[in-house]
Chain A
Amino acid sequence: MKTIIGFEIHEQLNTKSKLYCNSSTHYRNVEPNTNVCEVCTGMPGAKPYPMNQDAIDATVEIALMLNCDIIENPVYIQRKHYDYPDLPSGYQRTSLPIGKDGKLNDVGIWEVHIEEDPGKYDPLSGLVDYNRSGVPLVEIVTAPDIRNPEDGRKFLRELSKVLQYTGKVKPEGGTMRMDTNISLEGGARVEIKNINSVKGAYRALKFEITRQKNLRKRGVKVIQETRAFIESQMITRRMRIKETDADYRYIPDPDIPPLLINAKKIIEIKSAMPEAPHLKLKRFMDTFGISHDDAWAITNEKEMADDIEFEIHQLNKTKKVVDFNRHIIKKTIEYKKLTYKQSGLNGINVSDILKLIEDGHLTDFNAELTVRNIIDKTIDGIYTDRVTLNNIENLGLAKINEKDIVEKAVIEVLNENSNAVEDFKLGKSKALNFMIGQVMMKTKGRADPDIVRLILKKELR
C-alpha cells in the first residue's frame, strides 16, 4: 500500500525586528500586546514598512542550503485573505516562491518562501495576543516524496538541523510548525494542520494511517478534507468547513514593491553561509574515514562539528578526537540536558583536555570529570579559560604517574578484597575488573587503568 506524504513547514527567523514593522520579535514571557504597533495589530491606515532585508537574506540562505534554484524574476508579495481572529488585517502577506526545486537527502523541496506569523489565538478562551504577529516565517514546501511516518520523522529532524545550522532561525525551542498531506494507495488526500512538533507529526501520521485503514476495512471511502491534529489527545479531527475555504483571493499587495534577488546577492550569501549538515556529514566520512553513524552523531550540532575539525587539526589524531566527542562529551551534555552550544565546551578547552590525556596527565575517566567541571562552571555558554596542568592538579584530577603510589593502592585493594582475589583465582575474570575499579576509586581516578591492570596481574600471580 503506497503511502504518499508531503509537508509544509514553518519556522521563525531570528531577526530583531518584525518583517513589516520595527516592533521587537521577542514575544515569550512578555505581557500580551506589548511588542506591537499599528502595523502588526492591523490598525486602519497602517502600511507595511519596507521588508526586513535580513529576513529576506535568511530565506535565500535556507533555500540555497536546501539546494534550491533562486527565482530570477520579480517576486511579488501577495495578500492571502481569510477570516480568523489571529490575523489582524484579514489577510496574510506571503511571498511567491523565492527558491524552487531543491532537495534534502531523498526528499524534493518544491519551494521556499517568506511570510508573516499571525498572532496567538486561544480558541478555548478567545484570547488574542499580537506580540507574535508579524514575526518573519520561512515556509518550506516538500514534494510528496515521503513514504511512511518514520521517514517523515527522520526528514523533519534533518530539516530542523539544516535550519539550526544557518543560525538564522529561532534557536532550539519548538518553534517549527507543520502541516502534512497524506494519501493511501491512490485514495483522497487528507491535510492535517496544527502540528507543533516532530513527535506530533509522527503521531499524527500514524493516527491518520490507522484511521484511514479502518475506514477502508469497513468499506467507507476516505474523503478529501482538512483535519486538525489535537496534541493533547494525539488524534486528528475534521476541521470546520469555513476554516478551510480554499479561495484566498490572492492579489499582489499594492503597498509592497516586488523583490528581485540578483546574482551578486546570491553569490554573497552562498559564500558566507555555513556548509550544510548533510554535506558536512559526507565530507567528514570521506575526509576522516569515519562511519556514517559517527559522522551523523558529531555533525548534529554545527558548533560541535566545527570544534571537532579544529581539534583534529590541532592534534592530528582523528579517532581520538571523534571518539572523545562522540562518547564522552555527547554523553555528558545529554545527561546534563544541554546543547553543545550551551555547555561552555569549545575547540580550545577540549583540545587542552585531549592534549593532557596525550601527555599522560589525565586518564580518560578524569577527562570526563574535567568535562563536567567545565560545564558546571558555566551558565551562558561562554567559558574562555584554558585547561592547564595546574587546573587539573588543583582539581585533584591529575594522573598519578609515580609507580610506587599506584602499587601501594593495589596492595591495599588486594588486602581489603580477599573475596575478589578468591574469585579471580577461581577463574572469574570479572573480579579483575572489580579490583581495577577499586584501585581507581582509591586513587580518585588518577591512576592509569592499564598500568593498574598490569600491576594487579603481576601481584595476583
Chain B
Amino acid sequence: MKIEKQSKKVLKELSLTLGNINLEETYYVVDKINVTRGDGEPKKDNSNFKIIIRKNAPKMDEKGSYIMEAGGWID
C-alpha cells in the first residue's frame, strides 16, 4: 500500500535525525500533581445533550440505547 511505504520512509527519516541521548522523558509540559476534585453532588440532567446525541447516533432505540454490532466475542 502506497501510504504504508511512504510512511515507513517518513519514519526512517525522522528517527535518523535524533541520535541517542540520556535524559528523562518529558511526558507533561506542566509540573502538576494531584489535580483532583471533591465527590460533590452529581450534575443536573441536561436534556439538550440527550437530544443532540440522539441526532448524531447512527442507530438508537426508542428507550435511548445505542444499537451497535452484535456478538461474536466467543469462538
A and B touch in the complex (CB under 8 A): yes
Do the beta carbons of A128 and B43 come within 8 Å of each other?
Answer: no
Q: Smallest Cβ distance from A45 to chain B, in angstroms?
A: 13
B71 at the interface (CB under 8 A from A): yes
A41 to B72, CA, bound (A): 23
A50, A51, A52, A239: the one within 8 Å of B74 (CB): A239
Q: Smallest Cβ distance from B49 to chain A, in angstroms?
A: 7
Do the beta carbons of A31 and B63 come within 8 Å of each other?
Answer: yes
A32, A52, A76, A260: the one within 8 Å of B64 (CB): A32
Q: Smallest Cβ distance from A287 to chain B, in angstroms?
A: 36
Do the beta carbons of B74 and A37 come within 8 Å of each other?
Answer: no
A199 at the interface (CB under 8 A from B): no
Q: Mark A295-326, 1 if CB is under 8 A from B, else 0.
A: 00000000000000000000000000000000
Given known A-B contacts A34-B45, A35-B42, A123-B71, A257 and B64 have beta carbons under 8 A apart: no
Please indicate the chain B residues that have their CB under 8 angstroms from the CB of A121 in the complex: 68
Q: Smallest Cβ distance from A271 to chain B, in angstroms?
A: 20
Closest to B67 in A: A126
A129 to B69, CA, bound (A): 13
Closest to A49 in B: B37
Given known A-B contacts A31-B64, A34-B45, A16 and B40 have beta carbons under 8 A apart: yes
Do the beta carbons of B39 and A15 come within 8 Å of each other?
Answer: yes
Please indicate the chain B residues that have their CB under 8 angstroms from the CB of A23 in the complex: 42-43
A176 at the interface (CB under 8 A from B): no
A134 to B72, CA, bound (A): 25
Do the beta carbons of A53 and B36 come within 8 Å of each other?
Answer: yes
Q: Which of A74, A121, A237 has the most CB of B within 10 A?
A: A121
Do the beta carbons of A123 and B28 come within 8 Å of each other?
Answer: no
A97 to B1, CA, bound (A): 41
A33, A49, A240: the one within 8 Å of B50 (CB): A33
Contacts of B37-68 to chain A: CB distance below 8 A: 37-43, 45-46, 49-50, 53, 61, 63-68
Q: Mark A274-294, 1 if CB is under 8 A from B, else 0.
A: 000000000000000000000
B21 at the interface (CB under 8 A from A): no
B75 at the interface (CB under 8 A from A): yes
Q: Smallest Cβ distance from A54 to chain B, in angstroms?
A: 4
Given known A-B contacts A23-B42, A37-B46, A239-B74, A52 and B67 have beta carbons under 8 A apart: no
Closest to A258 in B: B33
Please indicate the chain B residues that have their CB under 8 angstroms from the CB of A74 in the complex: 33
A38 at the interface (CB under 8 A from B): yes
Q: Smallest Cβ distance from B27 to chain A, in angstroms?
A: 5
A17, A228, A230, A240: the one within 8 Å of B40 (CB): A17
B39, B61, B69: the one within 8 Å of A53 (CB): B39
Do the beta carbons of A56 and B40 come within 8 Å of each other?
Answer: no
Do the beta carbons of A238 and B43 come within 8 Å of each other?
Answer: no
A22, A25, A33, A256: the one within 8 Å of B66 (CB): A33
B12 at the interface (CB under 8 A from A): no
A426 at the interface (CB under 8 A from B): no
A424 to B28, CA, bound (A): 89
A24 to B42, CA, bound (A): 5
Please indicate the chain A residues that have their CB under 8 angstroms from the CB of B38 in the complex: 52-54
A17, A34, A252, A257: the one within 8 Å of B35 (CB): A257
Q: Mark B8-41, 1 if CB is under 8 A from A, else 0.
A: 0000000000000000000110101111111111
Q: Smallest Cβ distance from B73 to chain A, in angstroms?
A: 5
Please indicate the chain A residues that have their CB under 8 angstroms from the CB of B27 in the complex: 76, 252, 254
A232 at the interface (CB under 8 A from B): no
B3 at the interface (CB under 8 A from A): no
A15, A17, A35, A257: the one within 8 Å of B33 (CB): A257
Please indicate the chain A residues that have their CB under 8 angstroms from the CB of B63 in the complex: 31-32
A85 to B68, CA, bound (A): 7
A32 to B42, CA, bound (A): 17
Given known A-B contacts A33-B53, A41-B53, A85-B68, A257 and B74 have beta carbons under 8 A apart: no
Q: Smallest Cβ distance from A245 to chain B, in angstroms?
A: 12
Closest to A120 in B: B65
A243 at the interface (CB under 8 A from B): yes
Please indicate the chain A residues that have their CB under 8 angstroms from the CB of B33 in the complex: 74, 257-260
Considering the complex of A and B, which 7 residue pairs feature the smallest CB-CB distances, nearest first?
A: A24-B42, A257-B32, A126-B70, A123-B71, A54-B39, A22-B43, A32-B65
A-B CB contact pairs (8 Å), 6 listed: A121-B68, A126-B71, A130-B66, A238-B74, A240-B74, A257-B28
